Amino acid sequence: MPSNRCAHQMSTKKKAERVDSMITFLKSAVQSQKEKGGQPDQAPGNAMMTAKLLELWSVPQSTITEMRLLLTLGADPAPLLKDDIGEKILADRMDNGSVCEECAPKFKAFLEFSGTIFEEMFERTPIQINKTKKVDGVMALCLDGGGMRGLVSVVCLLYASRRLLGDESLPNLFDWFIGTSTGSMLALSMVNKKSISECFFQYWDMKSQIFLRGSTVKRLLGDQVAVQTKNIDKVLEECFPTETLQACSTRLTIPALDISTAPARLHIFRNYSFTKPFGVSLNEDQDILFREAARASSAAPTYFEPFVYGTKVLVDGSFVANYPLNVLFKEYDSFSRHQNPLHLAGVLSIGTGEPALAERKYKSGKSIKAKAMNIGHLSTLILEQVVGQDLTAVEMAQERCHAHNIPFNRLSPKGIAVRIDQIDDAKLMEMIWTTLMYLTENVHEIDQLGEMIYKLKSDPTERKRRSNTVL
């Protein structure tokens, strides 16, 4: 007989097992949808998820994390909302103790907002564009750094693609990917033909494959960095066993920081020449494996060891380009300096979330323990700055795009305050819920992206017909 205790009172192992089981189910459902080629409103994967959501809502040991995962990937909450079935079941669970007072507000919020989230994400009429139409110029997709907060970027792409196009084809519209740190891993996965949903699962799986549980002090004083370095090397080799930048048909830019000299210098991995047409063979000695570029750009100090590349010692690109928009325009200007100007048709910047302003708790002390804690606080402060506290680069990019009439869009939810090495399922899912809520409350930001895509990718006759219809 299942226990009537609230799910959050289960052991860490038991909760992890439930979430792992859910991820396995979701992978199967998504794969079924992919094989049948179904659309969001009729896909067998969505039907499976919807049935699962209704089933689990009544299960005493089911968690809000499972419900939110189902919604994120496509479960329709309508059966729960019909005739207040979900509320009645929740009331019974609260009465029998399988949902406690602490967890009840999260279940109630799911009933209150899940219908709107699903409607805005999955049920909008897709914009009518010609996906095969060539755009005059290059469309650039910039992906920020932020460790496990890369899940925020994945959900932003998933939400926008489903809302605007009715499928997961949004990344296919871009022909220049610029990614830093976790953004490099996401960029390389997408150009390697992984769907956005598959990228979601990749991130979810690799959190426990790479990161160990432990404090900043343990990382600094123990062998955790060495172990995590071996872990990320293994994960990247499994993700990208043989792929190289020069064999990729999409323009790629991956920044890292070379610390072999003082001062340190920006190092950029790229698969194009500033003087030759894209696609022309380059010097093979300059080629690099996907996994090496991602490893170099993701080598965050105190988390991973530096990546040695020839005579260079490379660390996380976030130190110089967490928002890689500055690298995008550096490369863009280099084409002009070499008398080979590149036309930017549009820019999409995807962030890993911005934290809400909060008071910092910081105490000094003279004991060895206090000093060690201070070092940990300082390390955290530095890495916070590295992974996205200063939006100056974004503001400068916006101003430059506006001045040169280049369409610019950015998606980066507010209120995200999760460590880059967070591996707790519930905390990561809370982050994703915050992302879904933000995107739903700010769908105008996604629709502005839709307007850019429509103008660039729709046929002139369709634009004229739509204009006449509006008039």
**Cα gap 45→32, rounded to integer Å:** 6
400 CB burial (10 A radius; 0-12, 13-18, 19+): middle
Q: Which two tokens stand for residue 33?
A: 């949808």
The residue whose two tokens read 């008398």 is: 339
Q: Which of 316, 421, 424, 425 is catalytic?
A: 316
The residue whose two tokens read 């009331």 is: 91
Q: Which two tokens stand for residue 313?
A: 């010692």
Evaluate whether 170 touches 161 at the Cβ level (below 8 Å): yes
Q: Which of 62, 181, 297, 458 is catalytic?
A: 181
Residue 62 annotated as catalytic: no
Q: Could you tell me which residues come within 8 angstroms of residue 259 by beta carbon, excluding any fewer than 6 positions away?
A: 306, 313, 314, 315
The residue whose two tokens read 């979601």 is: 200
Distance (Å) of CA 239 to CA 188, 189, 462: 10, 8, 40
Residue 379 annotated as catalytic: no
Size of the chain, expressed as the number of residues it contains: 471
Phi, psi angle pair for 270, to nearest 5°: -145, 160
**Cα gap 300→298, rounded to integer Å:** 6
Q: Is the peptide bond before 263 cis (omega within 30 degrees of 0)?
A: yes
**Cα gap 389→381, rounded to integer Å:** 10
Q: Could you tell me which residues come within 8 angstroms of residue 128 by beta carbon, excluding any fewer than 6 positions away?
A: 458, 462
What is the residue-wise DSSP string for 66-77? HHHHHHHHT---
Query: Which DSSP state fits 363?
Result: -
Active-site residues, by number, are 181, 316
